[in-house]
Structure 1
C-alpha cells in the first residue's frame, strides 16, 4: 500500500503562483523567496505527485499533462482552505451591527427587556432597535424590510412562513370579585353581551374573536376599542370592562392580585408567538445571533409562559 502524501498548502500555493506567473523567476519575486527555494519546492511537489508538473523552456515554464490535470484540484483545495480561514476568522469575532426587531407590546417585560440585557452581556457590539406594534403591523414591517426580525402572534394552524416559539392560552381578565371570572375557566359563550375592552379591527385578535362569536352565535359588547395593552389592563383592573389577554401581558397585576383571570374554553382561544425574518434581504450575522438569543430565552424561560388559571379566578 502506497504511503499517503501529507499535502503542504504552502508548497501548493507556490505551484499555483508559478502557474500564474509562468516563470520560476517571476514567482520568486512575487513570493519574496529566492529562486532556488522555489525550484526545490516544485521538485518536492513533483516527487510527491510521482511525475513532472512543468516543462522548462527558455522563456519560463508550462504545465505538463499531469500539471494540467492537477491544477483545478489544487486551485479548489486552496480556495476551500482560504474560505475555511475566513470563516474561522469571522467566528472568532463577535457579531456586530444594528438589528431592528419588532415585538408585540405585551412582550416588553417577558422578552424585550431581558433580550437587551442578554445581548449587552454577551454581544455588546450588537445595537438593538425595538419597535412595538400589532401583529399586522409587524407582518407588514417584515414584508417591506423595515425590520430584520419580528415577534407577532399567529392564530391559524398554518405557520409555514414563521418559526413557532410558544403557544399561550387566552384568558378573560377583570377586577377581583368579578362574576365572569369567578372560576378557573369560562366558556367562550359566557362572554355574550359582557362589556369588553378589545383591540380595534383589523387587529388579528379582534377578527379572530369576531369570527368565534359569529360561530358561537353570541354578541361581543365592545365597550372600548384600544390597541394599547396597557389601556386594556388599566380598564380591566378598574372594573370598566373585561379584557381578553394571554397571562404574560398582565403578569405583574395578576401576581399582585389586582387582576384576576379565567381561561377561555369551549372553544379555547390560543395564540402562538412566532419568530419571523424579513425576506427583503439576507439576515446579517448580528440578526442571526439575535434570533438565536430569542430562541434561547424562550427555551430557558418556558415556565414563564405556563400560567395556569387554577386558583386565579375571583376569590
Structure 2
C-alpha cells in the first residue's frame, strides 16, 4: 500500500465512480482501476461494489475508509510539521532600517548572511523612522531597526543594540569658515550648536524628535531654517559643500570621515546620545530564521562598534553574542 493508492481510493469514494475520479485527478481511468485492484489484493478484501452507475463501498471498504482517512491525515500533518521546520530555519527575513543604520550595517550584514547563513535570504528595506515603524506594524517586516523615539510597546518587542553618540558634522571644505573654526577640535558643547546653521529633519522623524528633546532639556534653541530634503545622502552632500552642518551618529558618516571628506565633533555637556533597538511585531510568531537574524544583527553591531564605525556603548553583552557568529568581535 502506498500514498498514491490511498489518494485514488479516497477520491473514488468522494466522486462515486472511477471515471469521475480519473477526471478529477486528470489521469487515465485504467491507471486508477489498476491501483485500486492492487490495493484490494494487498488488503485481501473487496473494497468496492462496481456497477454501471459507479462504485459503492462494501462493508470492508467502509472499515478501510476510516483507516485510510486517518493515515492520510497523519501523513499530511507530518508533511506540514516537516515543512514548518524547514521554513523556520530558512526562507526570507525582511529587515527594515533607517538610512544611517543601513550605512553601517547593510554591507557587513549581507556579507555575514551570505557567508555563514546561505539558507536565509535577507531582504533589506530602508526608509525614514516613521515609515519603518509603519512597515513593522502592518507586518511588512520581520525585524525593524529603529530608535527609542519610535518605540510603541503596544505592538513592539524590543532588543537593545547600541546607545550611539551624536556628533556635529562639518564638511572638510577650505572655503568654509565653520571648518576652519572647528578644525582643531574633537568635541563641542551642546550650547555651542546654536552658533551654526544646521540641516535638520522635521519632528516627524526620530532624529528631529531627539534634537527637539535636547533643545527643551537644555533651553538652547538651535538654528534649523536651512532648506533640507530630509534625505541623508542629500544632506551630507550639502555639508560637504559647506551649505550647513548636521547632527548625526557616526554610523551615518564614518565612511566619509575615513576619506577626510567630513569632520565630526562629539556633542557633550550634555552628552547627546540615543538608543538603537531591533524590534519585532508581537502579533507575529518569530521563525527560527528570524531569531537567527537577530543574533547576526547583534554580532554585526558589536563588530562595527569594535571597528569604531558605530561609536557608542553596546546595549548587548558580549556573552550573549560571542558564540552566535563566526565574526571576530574583538574586545567590547
**Shorter-chain TM band:** 0.5 to 0.7
Partner of 1:153: 147
Give runs of aligned pairs for residues 42-61 of structure 1, distance below 5 A.
none
2:92 aligned partner: 98
The Cα RMSD (Å) is 3.1
* Cα displacement (A) at 1:238: 1.3
How many Å separate the matches in 1 of 2:129 and 2:183?
27
Say which is worse superposed, 188-197 or 135-144, in terms of deviation.
135-144
Q: Which ranges in structure 1 are unaligned for 5 or more consecutive residues?
A: 1-31, 33-82, 310-315
Post-superposition shift, 1:233? 1.3
Report the 3-state secondary structure (helix = DSSP H, G, I; strand = E; otherwise coil) of the residue aligned with 1:170. strand
Which position in structure 2 is the counterpart of 1:259?
A: 262
Q: Quick check: 1:194–1:221 contact (8 Å CA) kept in 2?
A: yes
The runs of at least 4 aligned residues of structure 1 exceeding 3 Å deviation read 155-161, 305-309
Residues 42-87 of structure 1: per-residue CA shift (max 9 Å, x gap): xxxxxxxxxxxxxxxxxxxxxxxxxxxxxxxxxxxxxxxxx9xx89
- State how far apart, in whole Å, the 1-side matches of 2:163 and 2:211 are: 17
How big is the shift at 1:90?
Answer: 4.5
SS at match of 1:221: coil
Structure 1 residues 127 and 161, CA gap change in structure 2 (3 angstroms):
closer
1:128 aligns with 2:128: no
Secondary structure at the residue paired with 2:247? strand
8 Å Cα contact 1:101/1:149 also seen in 2: yes
Cα distance in 2 for residues equivalent to 1:116 and 1:307? 17
- Measured against aligned partners, the alpha-carbon deviations of 1:77-129 in whole angstroms (never above 9, x if no partner) come to xxxxxx9xx89x948x9921121110111133421121112112222232221
Indicate yes or no: 2:288 matched with 1:285.
Answer: yes
Q: Partner of 2:92: helix, strand, or coil?
A: strand
Q: How many residues are aligned here? A: 225
Decide whether aligned partners of structure 1 residues 105 and 188 sit closer, same or farther in structure 2, where only a CA change above 3 A counts. Answer: same
2:214 is equivalent to residue 212 of structure 1? yes
Partner of 1:249: 252
